[in-house]
Amino acid sequence: MYKIRTNRGEVFEGKDESLLQILQNHSVYVPASCGGKGSCGRCKIKILEGKVKSTSFFGISENEKSEGFVLACQSFPQSDIFIELPHQLITVSERIALANEKIIEKIFKTIELNPLVKRVNLKIQPPDIDSQADFERLKQAAGKDLSISRKLACQLSDFLRQNNWHVSLAITDDEIIDFVSDSKKIYGVAVDIGTTTVALALVDLEEGRIVDVATCYNSQINYGDDVITRIVYAEEKPEGLNILRKCIVDDINALLNTVSMRNKEGRIYYVTLSGNTTMCHLFWGINPKYIRQEPYIPTLNHYPVWRVSDARLSADSQIPVYTIPSVAGYVGGDIVAGVLASGLYENEELSLFIDIGTNGEIVVGNRDFLVTASTSAGPCFEGSGISCGMRATEGAVEVFRYQRENDSFEFKVIGNVPPRGICGSGMIDILSELFMSGVVDQKGKLIVDKSKHIKFKVQPPYGDSTARNPAGDSTALRAIQGSGFKEEDEEIRFVISSDCYITQSDIDNIIRAKAAIYAGISTLLEELGIQEKELKKVYIAGGFGEFLDVKKAVKIGMLPNLAEERFVFLGNTSLTGAILCLLSRQLRETAEEIAKKMTYIDLSRSKRFMDEYVSALFLPHTDWERFKELS
């Protein structure tokens, strides 16, 4: 056995297995869309110390090779080694930040589990000379008409005989999806295709339980941060559409391979998909160009249930893929999923739902009506377009506090490791605290008094606590020496650590994002003649959902000035909604109804929106009245 140490401090043991296999054995997510065959070139890691034997360097440049990069799937340790994992690697512990299991648990206390694929155990009549064909007797035993794919039909007769006419099948309402071994669990996969982040949940359909989760960046990011840039790329570049399609399909396949390798006790029989309209079009290879051209019409909102083979996913070709329906070009299935997860659609009280991702989509309504609009927040809260931005994953500053009494800052890092970047909630905290402490003015400009010494409360060394609840416990907060203001590349940086700082243009980006969100909310409410205070609940979804400090978001004028208890954090409701659809045929029907019921209002043509946006570019707003009762 050799020891494999990582730059994140983990130590694994392994021998005779590839590095990829060893890492995956220990739940370290490594992108490998080819499943470890050495043909995708994505599982690059850097060997810092020790020896490995590599059988292929596919996709690794000479330069990278000289720096020590190898393909994890093609490399085998020959000694103890020390490796550097790529930044985007995340561990399974991140699952707590993704789908909201509490919502799922709560919902299935009142409604029955009724998954899209079920196991049925059949006792089929053995044939005699007067018998019907095998498939006809199977349908008789099932008590209903069922379809079957050609591929399965080819295996049917042997399967029935080998199992002595007692068989388990995975079936939908009207189709046999696969033969099932008794000992195997029935899994489904829910996928959230975000513009910036892709998240996948492996779900046990019989237990109604999330088994595993994996996420990665949407590698379309290399072709543009927001949907508009991607649409332009798909439309104008040769092969642009295919390139973007391949990106997202490869990303999902990498996640699928990861969760499949980690969970071999079951098989996948259904896939549900949630994403904004453009992401869904790109995933299916449908050119989204007309979404960008007035009147912004998608090719389709309600998708037929296509197959894994149509999708090019790494799973059995006949597996159905359900796409949660969209509402309009800029309000997609992710929002329908969110409304489903929030329960807003069935409540009497008037509520607002907002999903803060690369787009900020807003829904106002109750069980009688649903109105929706979209505003472009940009990807900054998901960690893109900000110097040290990152997702809410290990190494991200997620909480940041200004201590008025001693004029110092404290912060908390996810995973209790040295800070590597700043996630969305950290950005809102930092902006709010810099503003409240006077370092940033009302126009969002850094006022740097270089003579001013900013102190940090330091709490070394780094423990291995995985607790992420920032409530109260200031000893969990930490700081690093060498922080403060620095001038580099002709720009003032507020530095937390060498890997982690924020610049003036980062602050400008964050302010534009919060202004777009607030302007979207206020314009939509005004269009509907609704006062902010009439909103009984504000449901917030998005990558940072669970850790967002609402008070601070209100302080910078991103959210309406309501009592804290009216805000409900839901986490990634796009993924949660996709899981709900997987677990309940009724909820899938409800998703279809929500999509049909929702009325879309286009803010992009609204003069009121532009006025609101310009006013919201201030901290918190030009109209101080709206935020005056703020504590």
Least CB distance to its own copies at residue 371 (A): 12
User: Please, what is the end-to-end C-alpha distance for the chain in angstroms?
Assistant: 59
Per CB under 8 A, which region of 74-82, 110-118, 127-135, 246-254 contacts its own copies? 127-135
SS (H, E, C) 504-541: HHHHHHHHHHHHHHHHHHHHHHHHHCCCHHHCCEEEEE
Nearer to its own copies, 126 or 438 (CB): 126
Tokens read off for 361: 């989509």
Cβ(558)–Cβ(516) under 8 Å? no
- Taking CB under 8 A as the rule, does residue 149 contact its own copies? yes
Residue span 602-621 as binding mask against its own copies, x where in contact by CB under 8 A, dash where not: x--x----------------
Least CB distance to its own copies at residue 238 (A): 17
- Taking CB under 8 A as the rule, does residue 1 contact its own copies? no
Least CB distance to its own copies at residue 128 (A): 5
Least CB distance to its own copies at residue 298 (A): 4
Least CB distance to its own copies at residue 288 (A): 9
Cβ neighbour number for residue 312 with a 10 Å cutoff:
16
Cβ neighbour number for residue 347 with a 10 Å cutoff:
14
- Taking CB under 8 A as the rule, does residue 154 contact its own copies? yes
Nearer to its own copies, 73 or 148 (CB): 148
Least CB distance to its own copies at residue 281 (A): 9
Residue from 41, 127, 224, 418 touching its own copies (CB under 8 A): that is: 127
Nearer to its own copies, 298 or 378 (CB): 298
SS (H, E, C) 322-345: EECCCCECCECHHHHHHHHHHCHH
Q: Token pair 């809410």 is at which residue? A: 392
Nearer to its own copies, 62 or 294 (CB): 294
Number of residues that bind its own copies (CB under 8 A): 43
Q: Find the binding residues for its own copies in span 265-284 (CB under 8 A).
A: 284
Least CB distance to its own copies at residue 245 (A): 10
Nearer to its own copies, 301 or 342 (CB): 301
**Taking Cα atoms as reference points, which of 23, 37, 92 lies closest to residue 314?**
37
3-state secondary structure of 539: strand
Q: H-helix or E-strand containing 600?
A: strand 599-600
- Taking CB under 8 A as the rule, does residue 374 contact its own copies? no
Per CB under 8 A, which region of 53-61, 70-78, 156-164, 203-211 contacts its own copies? 156-164
Nearer to its own copies, 284 or 400 (CB): 284
Nearer to its own copies, 298 or 424 (CB): 298
Q: Token pair 């999509």 is at which residue? A: 595
User: CB under 8 Å to 628, separation ≥6 — which residues?
Assistant: none
Q: Find the binding residues for its own copies in span 460-499 (CB under 8 A).
A: none
Nearer to its own copies, 98 or 160 (CB): 160
Q: How far apart are CA 126 and CA 398, in angstroms?
A: 62
Cβ(220)–Cβ(275) under 8 Å? no
Least CB distance to its own copies at residue 178 (A): 15
Nearer to its own copies, 240 or 557 (CB): 240
Q: How far apart are CA 322 and CA 280, in angstroms?
A: 11
3-state secondary structure of 169: strand
Torsion of the alpha carbons at 536, 541, 545 and 549, rounded to the nearest 10? -40
- Taking CB under 8 A as the rule, does residue 128 contact its own copies? yes
Residue span 582-601 as binding mask against its own copies, x where in contact by CB under 8 A, dash where not: ------------------x-
Q: How far apart are CA 324 and CA 595, in angstroms?
A: 9
Least CB distance to its own copies at residue 137 (A): 9
Residue span 282-311 as binding mask against its own copies, x where in contact by CB under 8 A, dash where not: --xxxx-xx---xxxxxxxxxxx-x---x-
Residue from 148, 377, 495, 517 touching its own copies (CB under 8 A): that is: 148
Main-chain phi, psi angles of 120, to 5 degrees: -120, 140
Least CB distance to its own copies at residue 127 (A): 4
Q: How far apart are CA 422 and CA 321, in angstroms?
A: 35
Residue from 58, 82, 108, 135 touching its own copies (CB under 8 A): that is: 135
Q: How far apart are CA 289 and CA 210, in angstroms?
A: 36
Main-chain phi, psi angles of 309, to 5 degrees: -65, -35
Q: How far apart are CA 392 and CA 398, in angstroms?
A: 7
Q: Find the binding residues for its own copies in span 157-196 (CB under 8 A).
A: 157-158, 161
Tokens read off for 104: 């799922």
Least CB distance to its own copies at residue 305 (A): 9
Least CB distance to its own copies at residue 205 (A): 24
Nearer to its own copies, 150 or 264 (CB): 150
Nearer to its own copies, 150 or 628 (CB): 150
Nearer to its own copies, 11 or 297 (CB): 297
Per DSSP, 584 falls in state: B
3-state secondary structure of 260: helix
DSSP-assigned beta bridge partners for residue 201: 190, 213
Nearer to its own copies, 248 or 427 (CB): 248
Residue span 312-341 as binding mask against its own copies, x where in contact by CB under 8 A, dash where not: --------------x---------------
DSSP-assigned beta bridge partners for residue 242: none
Give me the sign of the Cα torsion angle 566, 571, 573, 578.
Answer: negative
3-state secondary structure of 305: coil
Nearer to its own copies, 160 or 202 (CB): 160
Nearer to its own copies, 111 or 133 (CB): 133
Q: How far apart are CA 151 and CA 168, in angstroms?
A: 17
Cβ(39)–Cβ(45) under 8 Å? no
Per CB under 8 A, which region of 30-38, 52-60, 124-132, 365-373 contacts its own copies? 124-132
Cα atoms in the 13 Å half-sphere on the side-chain side of 132: 10
Least CB distance to its own copies at residue 151 (A): 8
**Taking Cα atoms as reference points, which of 447, 439, 395, 448 lies closest to residue 417?**
395
Single-letter amino acid code for the residue at 423 = C
- Taking CB under 8 A as the rule, does residue 78 contact its own copies? no
- Taking CB under 8 A as the rule, does residue 156 contact its own copies? yes
3-state secondary structure of 185: strand
Nearer to its own copies, 138 or 479 (CB): 138
Instruction: Answer left, alpha or beta for residue 598, where phi above 0 means left and psi between -120 and 50 means alpha.
Output: beta
Return residues touching its own copies (CB under 8 A): 127-136, 147-150, 153-154, 156-158, 161, 284-287, 289-290, 294-304, 306, 310, 326, 600, 602, 605
